[in-house]
Structure 1
Amino acid sequence: MLSVNNLSIEPLFREVNFRVPRGEIVTLMGPSGSGKSTLFSWMIGALSADFNAQGELWLDEKRCDTLTVEKRGLGILFQDALLFDSFSVGQNLMLALPAHITGQRRKDDVQHALHSAGLAGHYASDPATLSGGERARVSLLRALLAQPQALLLDEPFSRLDKTLRASFRAWVFDAVRARNIPVVLVTHDEEDIPPGGDVIQLSRWQ
């Protein structure tokens, strides 16, 4: 369970509360400037000193808002793939693997991930040669290979065309649910909301 308790970020919003059970996806919506991305920055521990935040972040029995970025166990996926074009696809994914995974298992895990995403054979590919949808899948794989305990999705579908957006969205939802982790999705598009999923509406500080 991922929980945000009594979070206020001045001057954006106040007293935001929500819970995300494992395997569930909660959607965060609101007008531009309401603080959705800022909330994510607070959750991962990268909030600008320009903001004053009060609140608590919990992951199961662990309070996370007092921990360093590395110890929070949160992954994040942005609009842009943010791949390193000087590295191959496989090398990009290898960077995400935890340090305790060593030797041949590192390459095996990456190859398995690529196969699961329909990208078998792309281990040595140059990221610049991939389509937008392929880059998006590699970006998600990189986030998941880091073995996050929860995942934040910051409008990851917004740069894709309508057809590709629908298929990638379905693949993302299946992938994160299979890992049984809590997920928070920021979007402006109601079509991105998982069927039956909870929606949190952010509004500006009054």
Structure 2
Amino acid sequence: MLRLDDITITQGAFSLQAQFAVAPARKTAIIGPSGSGKSTLLGAIGGFLPLTSGRVRWNDQDITDAPPGQRPMAMLFQDNNLFPHLSIAQNVGLGLRPNLKLSAQDHQRVAQALDRVGLDGLANRTPAALSGGQQSRAALARVLVQDRPVILLDEPFAALGPALRHDMLDLVSTLSTETGATLLMVTHDPQDVRRIADDVIFVEGGRAAAPQPAQALLENPPPALRAYLG
């Protein structure tokens, strides 16, 4: 279980607080107005932003001071973070070995991940030779090959058209269900929430609320969430 114990994140004049637990193997959407701190919250959970106070725990282990690579998490960023001079297989392999000194078993894991996201036969291409949807699949394969129990998504499919975005959301949902991973996903689109989320964390007014069941929350939102949804 992922637990945030009374954390505060401060960036200049902005401050965000949170205290809650995320149940294992749940798909949780993080929503809220622009500038409310959704990506800030995800970055702090992943270890990319420091806490002003509080602790982050995973299964009762304090990981507050652990660097991102030593946390039980894999993160998919908005820009996919693919290196243009590397092949797709090498970009995925970075998830296993930053020095790309891959064993035969590592190469097999990369090939299996590419096959799972529908990129079999494209391993030797560079990112520029792929469509936007294929690039998103390659970035997802790098997350998948890491086999971490928590997956963090920071609006990685926002630049895709609706049909492609829905395909990627469905793929993420399927993969997280198959692996039993806990999924935390920043999104600005209520349709994304309705499509795959079990729970919702609403971020507004300097506070991230505890996760609530998505369907019930969207059907009967509190005033602040109703104003955001329109």
Same fold (TM over 0.5): yes
Please give the alpha-carbon distance, in whole angstroms, between the structure 1 residues aligned to 2:197 and 2:95: 32
Shift in Å at residue 73 of structure 1?
Answer: 2.2
Deviation for aligned residue 1:158? 0.7
Q: Aligned-pair distance for 1:138?
A: 0.6
Structure 2: how far apart are the matches of 1:35 and 1:88? 34
Q: Assess if the C-alpha contact under 8 Å between 1:9 and 1:54 holds in 2.
A: yes
Could you tell me which residue of structure 2 aligns to residue 126 of structure 1? 126
Question: How do 1:21-170 and structure 2 match up within 5 A?
Answer: 21-47=23-49, 53-97=52-96, 103-170=103-170
Q: Is the 8 A contact 1:7 1:54 kept in 2?
A: yes
Residue 147 of structure 1 aligns to which amino acid in structure 2? D
* CA distance 1:69–1:147, change in 2 (3 Å): same
Shift in CA distance, 195/73, structure 1 to aligned 2, threshold 3 Å: closer
Deviations 1:34-83 (A, max 9, x none): 111111221122226xxx62222111121111323332222111121221
Tell me the distance in 2 between the aligned counterparts of 1:114 and 1:71: 24
Kept in 2, the 8 Å contact 1:77–1:140? The answer is yes
**Secondary structure at 1:202 match in 2:** strand
How far did 1:102 drift? 5.2
Aligned 8 A contact 1:96 1:142 in 2: yes
State the alpha-carbon separation in 2 of the partners of residues 195 and 141 from structure 1. Answer: 19
Cα RMSD for the two superposed structures: 2.0
**Structure-2 separation of matches of 1:45 and 1:195:** 25
Offset of residue 12 of structure 1: 2.5
Residue 87 and residue 161 in structure 1: after superposition, are their counterparts in 2 closer, same or farther (change >3 A)? same
User: What letter corresponds to residue 180 of structure 2 in structure 1?
Assistant: N
Amino acid at match of 1:132: G
- What amino acid maps onto 2:23 in structure 1? P
Q: CA deviation at 1:98?
A: 5.1
Identity %: 32
8 Å CA contact 1:117–1:137 kept in 2: the answer is yes
Do the aligned residues in 1 keep the contact of 2:28 with 2:184 (CA within 8 Å)?
yes
Q: Hey, what's the Cα distance between the residues in 1 that align with 2:89 and 2:67?
A: 28
Call closer, same or farther: CA 1:195–1:45 in 2, change over 3 Å: closer
CA contact (8 A) 1:23 1:178 kept: no
Unmatched tracts of structure 1, length 5 or more: none
Q: 2: CA distance between counterparts of 1:161 and 1:69?
A: 30
2:202 aligns to what?
A: 201
1:188 corresponding residue in structure 2: 188
Structure 2 alignment gaps of length 5 or more: 208-230
Mapped to 1, the partners of 2:128 and 2:83 lie a distance apart of 9
Judging changes above 3 Å, is the alpha-carbon distance between structure 1 residues 61 and 116 closer, same or farther for their aligned structure 2 residues?
same
Q: Which residue of 1 aligns with 2:19?
A: 17
